[in-house]
Structure 1
């Protein structure tokens, strides 16, 4: 209670005649919050919401926050961005920043890393440049039967090569389903390039003790290789795919009823997962409407309570005990010769600039092309596709190098 009371002192009146009355009111308010938290089944989670830069009005963000907090009193939505003129929903907090996306992202990062009273336990963002190795697990409502399905993955990239990424996505999707309350999730692999190899790798892991439960296609020939009909019917709790395919599917399922201009259904592009990744940052799109924003906040809170990072660690541990590293190595393209080995990485520098427009298959080679000329760069996957992160001072020269090499 002391922390809550301290957080309210800034609102006290300086008038000594009303000081005692204000103190009693603040203590009462703090007690009310404690009672609400107890009645809701636990402490409130502060979930950040990047609330500017989208294609929907700010009222959608406020409505989404209000819906989420009304349905789950243990959530406190915390807006990030320019403070709106409209009245905030009861209980909503705000971290005011300029409209600049970089400023909002910096404020969000600071609050996620903080352990003080203003800390965030999770966040919902319109854009986040995840490092390679981290992907988000989107969640859709399947129209034929109305049941939820996780698309693993929908933004980010869990590995540079598709087959390896899809195998990791399977583990991260299972972890996300468990964090969201599905005790023994079923899993299928969407029928894409590399899907048969990934399915065989998962089957071998199961034979060696990894407890994966395969779903079953609704088509007459069955099996865990999923087709479009299976997505509509929700034939499995988790559908494994590559990020770009998952991203397209998310948009179709979320915005089908509005003709594509406004996302009305689903839980957004999902919470992030990756080996060694300890944040729960979820993604919505610039076209996500109030219902999706509300669901995304609720899903993020549930992933925090379900300890998604810990679930990922546990799935990786169990899969490694069954031979995961060998399966990943077998799915990798043939190793390059010594002549084609990656160049030495230049000294690490802060990365405050991004270069877009590079094909995901060229991303790693493009970074190495910059390393060769002494420019420090990192591969990442933003919400609009692959990006190279680098220092702003190196932006012009890096553009020349990448254009000369044919990457942009």
Structure 2
């Protein structure tokens, strides 16, 4: 076995020389750590993933962090998962590895992971921003920052002008308003257009299945659920096979490249997670993210978020008298469900009778046909509608 390993190492060296001659450079390969403790499928599954990645890809090296195992890998021996995480961080901070893939990691508040899945309808990759961690305790603020993290990852994967969609969940319309203002003030990116007939940058379930945008913005809990569904919908849920996992943790000022996979992830998925991490390392994701956050801050990111997430109508039931009831057939879309009640109150304050409802594309405010134009003006002026 030892003689075979030496032969393999010599073969790898000659392959590297050949590649260097062909490309005209001898670029040093990035090293990606893989912790092997913690998988529900055992250490053997993690080693199998490393072997699969080694057979498919020859442009990065894998360092196993765990117990001693057979195989042609650099192994950093540790006795358990806890020691493995400590060693992983040590190797990252010392620069001995440039990225790592692991089953669990305690990211600080402000950092969450950007996943990558393969969609069933088209086979296209879809970047999910984000899938684990907490970007902000404020849902809308978190999703806006997730968009910047997703754009950063997309650019590090070679997508020069990524198109961004916002999943149609609570907070989506507020996020859309903030991102539109950010774009108008000079932060360059493009919105995706939903494949549904009414279009728009707020995405439906159909857009998930086809990967309409390059980057789909959502909260981490929703993103986590989506990764699990996309990665294991053919296996019953206990063995994740499709996609590249939950992705790297990204956040303003964060510098460690750590990609997350699940304890239920199988070798095919972990193999692609290693490739994902290596590409992010090669293209210096953390530097790309730093630049993206700097550009967003230069045009007033924090002020725009603060302005759009503060309470717009501070009222009680006693403050505002509901106007006389009218027939309401004029619908106004584009109101976030979290602000629906306050939007109605803003109209009542102006003497416009309104009711909340739910249309086929999301929340709506209903008013009388004769007051439709005025109502839209009021909602735009008070910040409930862009």
TM surpasses 0.5: yes
User: What is the TM-score with the length of structure 1 in the denominator?
Assistant: 0.71
SS of the aligned residue for 2:238 comes to coil
Do the aligned partners of 1:164 and 1:331 also contact (CA within 8 Å) in 2?
Answer: no
Which one of 202, 209, 232 corresponds to residue 186 of structure 2? 209
User: How far, CA to CA, are the matches of 1:231 and 1:108 in structure 2?
Assistant: 34
Question: Relative to 1, partners in 2 of residues 1:160 and 1:97: Cα closer, same or farther, differing over 3 Å?
Answer: same
Match of 1:107 in 2: 87
Do the aligned partners of 1:37 and 1:43 also contact (CA within 8 Å) in 2?
Answer: no
User: How far, CA to CA, are the matches of 1:184 and 1:199 in structure 2?
Assistant: 18
User: How far, CA to CA, are the matches of 1:62 and 1:122 in structure 2?
Assistant: 17
Match of 2:230 in 1: 253
- Mean Cα displacement is larger for which, 28-37 or 206-215? 28-37
User: How far, CA to CA, are the matches of 1:139 and 1:96 in structure 2?
Assistant: 30
Which one of 249, 258, 266 corresponds to residue 289 of structure 1? 266
Cα shift at 1:317: 1.8
User: How far, CA to CA, are the matches of 2:245 and 2:98 in structure 1?
Assistant: 18
User: How far, CA to CA, are the matches of 2:303 and 2:97 in structure 1?
Assistant: 38
Does the alignment pair 1:136 with 2:128? no
Which one of 46, 66, 79 corresponds to residue 51 of structure 2? 66
Which one of 289, 298, 301 corresponds to residue 312 of structure 1? 289
Match of 2:78 in 1: 97
Question: Relative to 1, partners in 2 of residues 1:30 and 1:290: Cα closer, same or farther, differing over 3 Å?
Answer: closer
Query: What does 1:349-360 correspond to in 2, within 5 Å?
Result: none
Question: Relative to 1, partners in 2 of residues 1:182 and 1:30: Cα closer, same or farther, differing over 3 Å?
Answer: closer
* Runs of 5+ unmatched residues, structure 2: 312-386
Cα shift at 1:30: 9.3
User: How far, CA to CA, are the matches of 1:333 and 1:82 in structure 2?
Assistant: 51
CA deviations on 1:299-351 (whole Å, 9 max, x unpaired) are 000001111111111111221222212112124456xxxxxxxxxxxxxxxxx
Q: From the CA coordinates, give the structure whose radius of gyration is larger.
A: 2
- Mean Cα displacement is larger for which, 103-112 or 63-72? 63-72
Match of 2:361 in 1: none
Do the aligned partners of 1:37 and 1:74 also contact (CA within 8 Å) in 2?
Answer: no
Aligned residue pairs total 305
Match of 1:188 in 2: 165
CA deviations on 1:342-384 (whole Å, 9 max, x unpaired) are xxxxxxxxxxxxxxxxxxxxxxxxxxxxxxxxxxxxxxxxxxx
User: What is the TM-score with the length of structure 2 in the denominator?
Assistant: 0.75
Q: CA RMSD in A?
A: 2.3
User: How far, CA to CA, are the matches of 2:287 and 2:217 in structure 1?
Assistant: 20
Match of 2:255 in 1: 278
Which one of 35, 55, 68 corresponds to residue 17 of structure 2? 35
SS of the aligned residue for 1:130 comes to coil
SS of the aligned residue for 2:233 comes to helix
Do the aligned partners of 1:152 and 1:246 also contact (CA within 8 Å) in 2?
Answer: yes
